[in-house]
Amino acid sequence: MSSTLPLQGMTVIEIGHTVAAPYAGMILAELGADVIKVENPDAGDYTRGMPPFRDGASAVYQALNRGKRSIALDMKRPRDAALLKRLIVEKADVVLHNLKYGAMEKLGFGAEELLRLKPGLVYCNVGAFGRTGPLRDRPGYDPLMQAYTGIMSIMGEEGRPPVRVGVSITDQAAGMWAVIGIQAAYQESRRSGAGGVVDTSLFETALCWLTVQYSSFDASGVVPKREGSGLAMMAPYQAFESADSYLMVAAGNDNNFRKLCGALERPDLALDPRFAANKGRVEHRPALLAELEPIFRRKTTAQWLALLEAAGVPCSPIKRIDEVVDDPHAQALEIFQPSPDGAGHILGLPLSFDSARPPFRRAAPGLGEHTGEILSGLCGGAAPEDPAQA
């Protein structure tokens, strides 16, 4: 490829807030699209008010909105709505939003209306519960989806309170599905000239994280349970307590288990009929752990990592965020990218094109920073500094 910005030439209008749609917009922007973020003039995206702050700007907002331009418009005001509609018709290839079900239609920006005005448009809904069904009108939030779809039922340890995945995994993954759908529909639009509607939702996304668990339940009838750091279908494949902390060991297949037994100086365990094959180790997990756990508590994590790595056993320390930031491998990949002004760093995309990662080109915009720049050509010259007040 000749560029790390393969989506140059695509214009996206993002009417999004918080995480899901903004995360999708950020990915598209990092890949070269001109993403124009539409924000209400009064407060803008909700994440602008989320701590911590650097130089008065929310780190959360910066992480989710880099690479974009911002216009401040009140879509309930007829003049602002007319300007935005004209911008979409004249410039946009994609409209992306995560407003509540039906909100875009009430504002006059539903898919049917915009596709009537611009048949080649790609229109992407990032919904809560999806476009149909008895829950479609309900709002959705990441932890609620983790609870409702069963993710929290397999998180944590048996006998202890439910826990959620610590990152906004449903929000961000829904954004990723939106990007996949948008690129597929955009490709078709360029081929045939026909646009269309892309639908994804937090609910569908959360369900898809459980693809293996639902398939296992369908085959066995056994409801998956909490496994802590472990994995229901493999053993040993979990965290173990050492003399000073914890380490993760992934020795689920038979060959790695034999290597582990050698490193632990317990080759007899690999010959035990209960443990020789993974199926048996899963069936006899409590007995296996009763053998392994006391052994791991005899040495420090550093000592075990050295022994296991030398034996070729997959293992890892359990690192904190600050340790990962300084990790030599992460540094070598240059995935923590400095902002254009050098004030801080942000994680870049986990993608490279011909060994080059898309650059951090533009910090997240101030509220309405590009209103005049973008709208001036739509109103016969200079756009008002604040269209919402015009």
Q: Which residues carry out catalysis?
A: 171
Q: Exposed, middle or buried: residue 93 (CB in 10 Å: 0-12, 13-18, 19+)?
A: buried
Find how far residue 176's CA is from the centre of its chain: 6
**H-helix or E-strand containing 95?**
strand 94-97
Rounded CA separation 224/96 (Å): 36
d(CA 91, CA 11): 7
SS3 content of the chain, % helix, strand, coil (to 5): 45, 15, 45
| CB within 8 Å of 306: residues ≥ 6 apart | none
Give the separation between CA 11 and CA 189, rounded to whole angstroms: 14
* Distance between CA atoms of residues 212 and 208, nearest Å: 9
Q: Are strands 11-15 and 94-97 parallel, antiparallel or unpaired?
A: parallel
**Cα–Cα distance measured from residue 276 to residue 271, given in angstroms and rounded to the nearest whole number:** 6
Residue type present at position 376:
S
